[in-house]
Amino acid sequence: MPVSAIDPTTAPPVVLVHGWGGSFAETWERTGFTMLLADAGRQVIGVDLLGHGNAPKPHDPDAYGDLGARIFEAITEQTGSPDTVVDAIGFSLGAMTLLRAAIREPGHFRRLVLAGIGQNVFERDEAATRAIVEAIEAGSDTVDSGSGNRARLFAQYAHRPGNDPVALAAIMKRPPSASLVAGDLAGVTCPVLVAIGDEDFAGPADALVDALPDARQRILRRTDHFATPESFDFIDATLEFLDAVPA
């Protein structure tokens, strides 16, 4: 369905939320995404989720019960008002956190881009999570092939320079949130773009798109989960959706 254009003189700030093991600098600044938004005249609000980037990195899983608090804190700090309405883009854990934030406070969001999530919104793969935690705690250099390729990739991300693998494992072990069902998404009435790679383990995203009142889907061809933020197709679709194409 068509999306009405945003007046560039009143365009809201754009909140950027990275995925697990990433950061605002690594996921959005390094790739040049923030520069594209700036060229379009958009204010950027960068978020480092708890346990990532420049945020505190507690080792207690119970500390990660409300990841969304960092989003609202960043909006208030960078705009001077807790009531600012924003556009927001999230990838993977960031997208899941944004979605829960929008369920809780739908009036804060004008448009949402949710990347790298799909069926995993409704179904948590506990076995995969346990394998990832075991791989992280074993160390990226000692993980054997029996743990699975996905677990090895997560372990490698956890042990990249600047990351705290103990904190990242704690995020995986945080108290589980109540599972979402389709009806929980009924209040998220703003336009939503769901972008997911055709090789992403989080997919398919059809049920997520169907549950949102005003959503459309962009399938990224020949794209796996980890490649999503750097996909030209994702970047183009996101900028177009937010009316943020640089002049």
Q: Where are the domains of the chain?
A: 14-124+178-241, 125-175
pLDDT category of residue 118 using cuts at 50, 70 and 90: very high
Mean pLDDT (the chain) is 92
pLDDT per residue as tens digits for the range 33-81: 999 999 999 999 999 999 999 999 999 999 999 999 999 999 999 999 9
Residue spans of beta strands (DSSP E) within the chain? 14-17, 44-47, 86-91, 109-115, 192-199, 215-224
Q: Tell me the residue length of the chain.
A: 247
CATH 3.40.50.1820 corresponds to the domain 14-124+178-241: yes
pLDDT at 5 over 50: no
Q: Are 109 and 36 in contact (CB under 8 A)?
A: no
Q: What is the pTM of this model?
A: 0.93
